[in-house]
Amino acid sequence: MQAPGSFIPEEIQGLLEDAEVYLVDGLQNENLSARAREEREMILFNFQHIKARYHLEFLPRGGDAVDAGYAQDSSDDNQSWTCAPSMVSDASFPSDYQDDGK
């Protein structure tokens, strides 16, 4: 949960949004290696984690997650939705180790 009084500055939110848009839209039709696709999925999963933690609501410009092909494996002919690699669930963030002052 977000600590009281902490927030992500608007400039950082914009940077996060731009990076997410690039990963979702910019790389959607690129021929990525399996490792690059895994990394892309892991980064997108981490974006979801950060957005949930800080209650951010940005989505790629011009549509919602479904329209943008969010977390969609573009190399698959049936365009099936994919989940992030299981190793991502064990990912920790620097804020996980910060003292809450309690």
At 57 the pLDDT is 66
- Residue 95 carries which DSSP code? G
In sequence order, the 6+-apart residues with CB closer than 8 A to the CB of 10 are none
Average pLDDT for residues 37-63, to the nearest whole number?
81
Mean pLDDT (the chain) is 68
Closest CA to 26 of 55, 66, 68, 54: 68
Give me the mean pLDDT over the 67-88 stretch: 41
Confidence of residue 28 (pLDDT cuts 50, 70, 90): confident
Average pLDDT over residues 71-97: 43
State the distance between the two ends of the chain, measured CA to CA, in whole angstroms.
Answer: 14
The pLDDT > 70 percentage for the chain reads: 49
What is the spatial distance between Cα 66 and Cα 59, in angstroms, rounded to a whole number? Answer: 10
pLDDT for 21: 93
pLDDT at 51: 86
Mean local confidence (pLDDT), 33-62: 84
C-alpha span between 60 and 24 (Å, rounded): 8
pLDDT at 36 over 50: yes
